[in-house]
Amino acid sequence: MPSSAASETYVLDKTHSEVSFQVRHLVTKVRGRFTDFEAAIHVMPDRPEESSVRFSVRAASIDTGLPDRDQHLRSADFFDAERHPEIVFKSRRVEPVGGDRYDVTGVLTLVGVEREITVPVGFLGFVRDPWGNDKAGFEAELTVNRKDFGMVWNAALDSGGVVLGDKVTVSIALEAVKQREEAAA
């Protein structure tokens, strides 16, 4: 990371970022994504352990490619998007773990339930784009147990087992743009 004594604020570039997930369904995996999300990342280049992030996702923006399934996922059986419109992660600490890898620990609030989790984050670097904007890249992949957040809906199979797995793998790729001094004030 470049040398700087002050915190630098980066905000999400939505057109170059994505949040996707996969979960077991019967014998295969169903994949989906969220289309509406935001991030504010406060980077301390000389002291990355003092950096922080706030990341939020609009639960109703879930998209699995099937409108009926998406509507069920927005319902009280899963995200309860009407009563809990946002999924939010707020970091509490950042720990360097070697190279450009960090463990970012914070509180994930999902369906009104708060749980402390640690997200393994890869820092992809800083770059200036052709239009003079300073950018930073981050990626993360984590697995959460949906039952830890009260998402317990399932259906039993005649042959034993259940329709839906408990573990959900979430993949996040963020490109963020540095806020200029006057814009950040």
C-alpha pair distances (Å), 185 with each of 8, 9, 51? 11, 10, 18
Residue 169 lies in a domain: yes
Residue 1 lies in a domain: no
Residue 47 lies in a domain: yes
pLDDT digits (tens, 9 = 90+) for 60-98: 999 999 999 999 999 999 999 999 999 999 999 999 999
Under 8 Å between Cβ of 36 and 58: yes
Among 147, 142, 151, which residue's Cα sits nearest to residue 169? Answer: 142
DSSP element (H, E) containing 183: helix 181-184
Under 8 Å between Cβ of 33 and 20: yes
pLDDT digits (tens, 9 = 90+) for 46-57: 899 999 999 999
Residue 163 lies in a domain: yes
The contacts found for 145-151 with CB under 8 angstroms, 24 or more apart, are 146/23, 146/78, 148/113, 148/115, 149/110, 149/111, 149/113, 149/115, 150/111, 150/112, 150/113, 151/77, 151/78, 151/79, 151/111
Residue 78 lies in a domain: yes
Say whether pLDDT at 1 is over 60: no
Q: What is the CATH number of the domain that holds 156?
A: 2.40.128.110
DSSP element (H, E) containing 80: none
Q: What is the largest CA-CA distance in the chain?
A: 62
Say whether pLDDT at 2 is over 50: no
- C-alpha dihedral sign at 140, 144, 149, 154: positive
Residue 43 lies in a domain: yes
Strand, helix or coil at 11? strand
- For residue 136, the enclosing domain spans 8-184
Residue 3 lies in a domain: no
Residue 154 lies in a domain: yes
pLDDT digits (tens, 9 = 90+) for 19-51: 999 999 998 999 999 999 999 999 998 899 999
Domain count, the chain: 1
pLDDT digits (tens, 9 = 90+) for 102-129: 999 999 999 999 999 999 999 999 999 9
